[in-house]
Amino acid sequence: MTLETTINNHTFVLHCSGAMYWVEKRMLLISDVHLGKISHFRKFGSALPGNAIFQNFIKLDNTVEYFNPESICFLGDLFHSTLNNEWNLFTEWVERTQLPIILVAGNHDIIEPHKYEELGITVVSEWTLDGFLLIHDPQEREDYYTLSGHIHPAVLLAGKGRQFLKLPCFFRTPNQLILPAFGEFTGTYVMEPQEDDKVYVITKEDVVEVARKDRR
């Protein structure tokens, strides 16, 4: 279900949900939930099941229960677009979770910051903490190791007979780690790992580091 890794003498636990737990800070890091996306597409006629709206909140509850963190940091794209009925579900979730929440705003986070602040959520454009840069859009910055999202990373795994399997992943380079999208129905982008990169694929039940020979 999890895989532990060390970055700059800090310990991080990668979870099969796509979340990551920063042990020293007792902080849960989650990227690209895209709440409201299902309601948005259903509004415009997409044939998505109505109960899918609740899946992200169930997933959030399960992950918070597993780690029991002291705080949560969303690394951008918490909501997909403007306010819709999922905002009410989010408000209920915040009230029952009862944890400090920080939102590092992403490109999809167009809801007015005061709406989050009314819920006690702090909204920032980026956050530097103990030598780490927490930001939505991946970038490298001198003197910091970056933790980000945005890309929805995935990799292709090579099988026999020209068969390939695409799986979401935590994508780690020497200078940054990109989290997979946490939300349902978010899509993925296939990365091309370089020699020094590390790939941790996620399945429904596990997180596994992929050897270079198994990548496409």
The secondary structure of 125-155, three-state, reads CCEEECCEEECCCCCCCCCCEEEECCCCEEE
Q: Residue 9 phi/psi, 5° resolution?
A: 65, 15
pLDDT in tens, 76-104: 999 866 667 789 899 999 999 999 999 99
Tokens at 47, concatenated: 């044939």
Tokens at 39, concatenated: 């309601």
pLDDT in tens, 52-78: 678 899 999 999 999 999 999 999 999
Packed helices 86-97 and 55-67: angle between N→C axes, nearest 10 degrees: 10
Q: How many domains does the chain have?
A: 1
Long-range interactions of 113-121: CB distance < 8 A, separation 24+:
115/83, 115/87, 119/91, 119/94, 119/95, 120/94, 121/94
Residue 87 is part of a domain; what is its CATH number? 3.60.21
Is 43 or 135 the better-scoring residue by pLDDT? 135
pLDDT in tens, 100-126: 999 999 987 888 999 999 999 999 999
Instruction: Look up the domain containing 124 and give its range.
Output: 2-214
pLDDT in tens, 33-53: 999 766 544 554 454 556 667
What is the value of pTM for the model shown?
0.91
Is 53 within 8 Å of 84 (Cβ atoms)?
no
